Structures are given as C-alpha cells and as structure tokens.
Structure 1
Amino acid sequence: MTDTTHPDSSFRALPIARLGVGGRWRTEAMRSYGAPVLLWFTRGQGRITINGVTSGYGPHNCIFLPAGTMHGFEMSSQVAGTIIVFPQDSEVQLGLPRDSVHLRLRDADRQIELSNLVDNLQREMEKGTARASRAMMCHAGLISVWLDRQLEALDEDEVKHKSGQRLVNAFTALVEQDFHSAKTVRDYAAELGITPTHLSRVCNNACGRPASVILQDRVTYEARRLLTETRVPIKDIAASLGFTSAAYFTRSFQKQTGQTPSAFRKRG
C-alpha cells in the first residue's frame, strides 16, 4: 500500500498507524494532502489540530479533511483506525463537504454504519477491476451522503464557529497557500487586518501555539519531507521555502529539529 502524502487519481486506504512510519513528525507537524481524506479512529486517543484549532479525538471519531487542509495530530502506539484517500479533484463529483468535519460517534448504530461503508469501499479497492472502480465511486458517494446526514443532525451550537476560530482558520489557510514564501507573521497579520500580537493570542487560545510556531511547524515539515523524499540540493530546498541563504535555512532547521539538514537527510 503506497503512502498517502502524494495521492493520485485513485482511491487509497491504509491503517492510520502507517502514517507515523518514519517518525512522529510525520503526523504531529502541520501538513496537508493534495486530495480529500477521511480519518476513522477506532482505538486510542490524542489531540488533533485542524486549521489552527486543537481538539481531542478518541475511539469512534470520524474526521474528514478537504484537500489542502492544514492539520497535525498526536498518535501513540494505541491509536488504530483507517485513512481513506479520495481521488484528487473528486470533491464536486462526490459532493464531499467543503469544510473539515469532526464527528464523535457515540451511537453504536452510527459506528457500525460508517465501519460498513469504509469496509465496502476497501473491498472494492482490493479487486482492482474496471467495475470495481465504478463501485468505489458509488461507495464513496454513499460516504459523502452519510457525512451530509451527520452534519444535518448536529445542533446549531455545535457547528457555530467563534470569531477567534474563524480568524485562526483564515490564518492557517493563508499559511498553507504562502508558506513557500518569505512572509512573516507580521505579513500574515497585516493581510488579515489585525496586529501580530492579536493573531498570536487567538492562535494560542485555539491550539496552545502562537502564530509563529504554527508557521515554523509548517515550513519545517515541508523541509523534512523534501530532505527525506527527494534528492533536491539543500540550497535549493532553502530557496524554495523562502530562505535568503542555505546558511540561514540550516540555522533555522537545526533550531527546530536539533539536527542540521544534511544530518537529517543522512539519518532518513
């Protein structure tokens, strides 16, 4: 089963535990996928940060993330479940939610219903035939309908966003769009029409981390990914992430990870 960090036009499914292979940074650092994903946790617990807002997750939690959603989550050895990766650009065709969804399924019938939907989709994936491809789209459509019905059942208070959360959502969306540039927290705050101090305050309230740490975390994750998954020269990685020099990139990376980029690449 291939990794989901670079999904193509096909459906994919793998155990959630596989996401953590290669180090905790694989799940805990801020990152995004190029396609929609569904996380179905069946055991264990931890915290997950989605678009800058942190909340707890536990058994029978279903989390849907649209393509490009910045997120990261804690994952101990006790955590189990399944991640479903939908095809790229399938949101409209399947009618998937436009915003992230976090559902805590306390009712046994709803837990069984989602488990069956996920199992049916996985069975078709294993067949690998042309008819199976059609069937996968149908099963994925049923998952989309199921998500819609769960959202309709939520109380208005559960889906109402506080102004601070909306601001953090807007900040993380900008970071996801521009983290390759040399923009600072001050630049992002100016774009949002607020002060850097206010931006850091609302980020701290939402996820326990100031705006600068969210930005650094996203850049560092991308640096780690490029160092481990490509042979791009370190100076070119530095330039692609908005650093003015390789030396500055090395100092920043070492401060965040405790290792130089070259040492991290050799270890990976």
Structure 2
Amino acid sequence: MPDPSMTTSNVRLVAIPRLAAGGRWRVEAMRSLSEPQLLWFTRGQGRITIAGMTRGYGPNNAIFIPAGTMHGFEVGQHVFGTAVFFGRDTALTLPQKVQHLRIRENSAQVELNLILDSIGREQAGDKPAHDRAAQHYLGLLSVWLERQIASHPPEDLPHPESARKLAARYTQLLERDFRSGNGVADYAAALGVTPTHLSRVCRTTTGRSAKAILSDRVLFEARRMLAETRLPVQEVAQALGFTSAAYFTRAFQHHTGKTPSDFRRSGQDEQGPGPASKPGPAVALRPGLARAPVAPIAGRFR
C-alpha cells in the first residue's frame, strides 16, 4: 500500500505568469505560504524580497522559499518560468533556509527543465503508476536542489549581517502578528530597537520602510479575504485589527483606489492609476514599482 505522505496530489506546478492572473498583488505584495515553494525563472528579470531582504533575479535563477517565509516579487510581462508548490505535508527532503541559486551551467538548467517537464507530464497523464513516477521525479528534484546548493558557495550579501538578521526577525514577527493591530512601534519594542532604527534597517535591506512592509502585508490579507471569502467587510476589518469597518474602507481605498465592496466585485485592483480618496504623501506599494501615488494608511500603522 502506498504511503499517503508520498502522494503528489498536493504538489502543483504553475506557470509563473499565471500566479498574477487574479491581480499582480497576488505575487508582488508581502505574504507567506503554508507550504514550501521553488521559483524557477527562465526569462525576464525583476526584484524579489524574501525575509526582509531585496535582491535581483534573472533568467536561470532557482529560488527556494520555505513555508512561512514572508516574500513578494515583481512579475513583469516578460517574466516566465515555473513555480513548484510542494504541499504542506511533503515528505521530500528540502532545504530549511531560503536559497537563491544562479544556475549558470547549461547542463544543470537542462536537467531541471527535464525534471519539471516529467513531473508535469506524469501528473497530467493516466498511465499506470503515474503518481508513483511523478513522486520519483520529485525525489530527483530534491536531489537536484541539494547538489546545486552544495556546488554554489553562498553569495556575498550586500548588507551587514546585523541588518539582515533584524529585518528577518521583523518579518517573522510581522507574519505571526499582523492581524493583531500592532503598529511599527510595537514591533520595534518587541525586537528591542527603536522604530527609527527598525525603519532605517528595513530601508537598507529592502528599500522600504518598516511601516510600508506592515501596510503591504495587511493589505494583501485584506485583498485575499475579500477575493476568496464571503465574510462581511466588517468581519474582515475586525480580523485584521481595524477599529471599524468605515475606517478599514477608507484605508483600503487609499491604497487600491477601490472600496472593499468594489474590489470584491471586480476581484482585483485596477491595473492603472487608482484614485485616492483624499490627498497624502506618495507611498510605493512595491519598491520601485509604484504605478500611482497613493496615500498612506495612517494611525493603523503607527
């Protein structure tokens, strides 16, 4: 009898452009997943922020992101590749830390493409033992990752280790508590630093303030809950720590150009500039990727 933990039914291969099919916010906003994933970029370039640090990516970059790790990345019209989602209870041997591999050897690139093609073919097929065959290919993917990590020495990172560690601790704490209604000052106190120092470090490692990262994470969850559930707006607001549905509506509209109800009906933000309900200083929703000036959410992110 096959081991249920070895099934491939929870493993999904998705073309990277399709990840943004419901709106670019689904990939560009800060969020985490409950399962590990591998991003294999074959064309295009952009920036990716993982655990409070932003770096560039390009063709033939393999990026492994463990479950529960806050991240977001730019996905332009020329970006192509495959995302592998391993499922929550995978029995595969996978890395425990973030890995950003720049695969320069043609043979390694070809090998990975063949493995991914084989997994997809077996999952889509109906030949005898296709699920078992796909599982063996997944095992080869795990081996490929392990060997590439062993053969690629760690890159020299651009920021001091102390800054990277603080930014990573902030994103971990934020991922755990973003529904609490806490502001940057609360997170800074929990980390034993001042809000000014925390924001300075976040700007150094990501190009964004601590407040902007917090705002981005809460807004992603708001969008997700509005798009994927039927909870009343008031319950969404309460779940995210807002004091009232009216305040949540004003804050949401500041950043998206839509009320929560309008967003729910459309399923995504406008692709072009969105109107702000009242003036305020410009804040980029993603570093270097702002498509329109939007007003900040004040008070909620003190």
Q: TM > 0.5 between the two?
A: yes
Q: 2:117 matched to 1:122?
A: no
- Relative to structure 1, is the Cα distance of residues 118 and 159 closer, same or farther in structure 2, using a 3 angstrom cutoff? farther
Question: Which AA in structure 1 matches 2:55?
Answer: S
- The residue number in structure 1 matching 2:60 is 60
CA deviation map 1:150-186 (0-9, x unaligned): 2222335548972211111111111111111111111
Q: Write the mapping of 1:196-215 to structure 2, written as runs, cut at 5 A.
A: 196-215=195-214
Q: 2:165 matched to 1:146?
A: no
Q: Which deviates further from its counterpart, 136-145 or 213-222?
A: 136-145
CA deviation map 1:51-70 (0-9, x unaligned): 12111111111111111221
Is 1:65–1:99's contact at 8 Å kept on the other side of the alignment? yes
- Relative to structure 1, is the Cα distance of residues 52 and 240 closer, same or farther in structure 2, using a 3 angstrom cutoff? same
- The residue number in structure 1 matching 2:250 is 251
Structure-2 separation of matches of 1:128 and 1:209: 48
Figure out how many residues of one structure are paired with residues of the other and give that number.
259
- The residue number in structure 1 matching 2:30 is 30
Question: Which AA in structure 2 matches 1:95?
Answer: T
Structure-1 separation of matches of 2:113 and 2:255: 39
Question: Which AA in structure 1 matches 2:61?
Answer: N
Is 1:11–1:125's contact at 8 Å kept on the other side of the alignment? no
Structure-1 separation of matches of 2:134 and 2:244: 47
Q: CA deviation at 1:22?
A: 2.3
Is 1:13–1:85's contact at 8 Å kept on the other side of the alignment? yes
- With normalisation by structure 1, the TM-score equals 0.91
Is 1:238–1:245's contact at 8 Å kept on the other side of the alignment? yes
Name which of 95, 99, 110 aligns with 1:112.
110
Q: CA deviation at 1:9?
A: 5.8
SS in 1 for 2:241: coil
- Structure 1 unmatched ranges of 5 or more: 1-7
Q: Which deviates further from its counterpart, 58-67 or 140-149?
A: 140-149
Question: Which AA in structure 1 matches 2:71?
Answer: H
- The residue number in structure 2 matching 1:4 is none
Q: 2:134 matched to 1:136?
A: yes
- Relative to structure 1, is the Cα distance of residues 128 and 201 closer, same or farther in structure 2, using a 3 angstrom cutoff? farther
Structure-1 separation of matches of 2:227 and 2:166: 33
- Relative to structure 1, is the Cα distance of residues 231 and 111 closer, same or farther in structure 2, using a 3 angstrom cutoff? same
SS in 2 for 1:247: helix
CA deviation map 1:116-159 (0-9, x unaligned): 22122212211257833333332222222221222222335548
Structure-1 separation of matches of 2:154 and 2:55: 18
Question: Which AA in structure 2 matches 1:184?
Answer: G
Q: Write the mapping of 1:229-240 to structure 2, written as runs, cut at 5 A.
A: 229-240=228-239
- The residue number in structure 2 matching 1:228 is 227
RMSD over equivalenced CA pairs, Å: 1.9
- Relative to structure 1, is the Cα distance of residues 30 and 22 closer, same or farther in structure 2, using a 3 angstrom cutoff? same
- With normalisation by structure 2, the TM-score equals 0.81
Q: Which deviates further from its counterpart, 226-235 or 118-127?
A: 118-127
Structure-2 separation of matches of 1:134 and 1:170: 39
Is 2:101–2:152's contact at 8 Å kept on the other side of the alignment? no
Is 1:65–1:100's contact at 8 Å kept on the other side of the alignment? yes
Question: Which AA in structure 1 matches 2:43?
Answer: R
Is 1:239–1:245's contact at 8 Å kept on the other side of the alignment? yes
- The residue number in structure 2 matching 1:10 is 10
- Structure 2 unmatched ranges of 5 or more: 1-7, 268-302
Structure (1 or 2) with the larger CA radius of gyration: 2
Q: Write the mapping of 1:129-208 to structure 2, written as runs, cut at 5 A.
A: 131-156=129-154, 158=156, 162-208=161-207
Q: CA deviation at 1:20?
A: 1.0
By percentage of residues, which structure has more helix? 1
Q: Which deviates further from its counterpart, 41-50 or 242-251?
A: 242-251
Q: CA deviation at 1:250?
A: 1.3
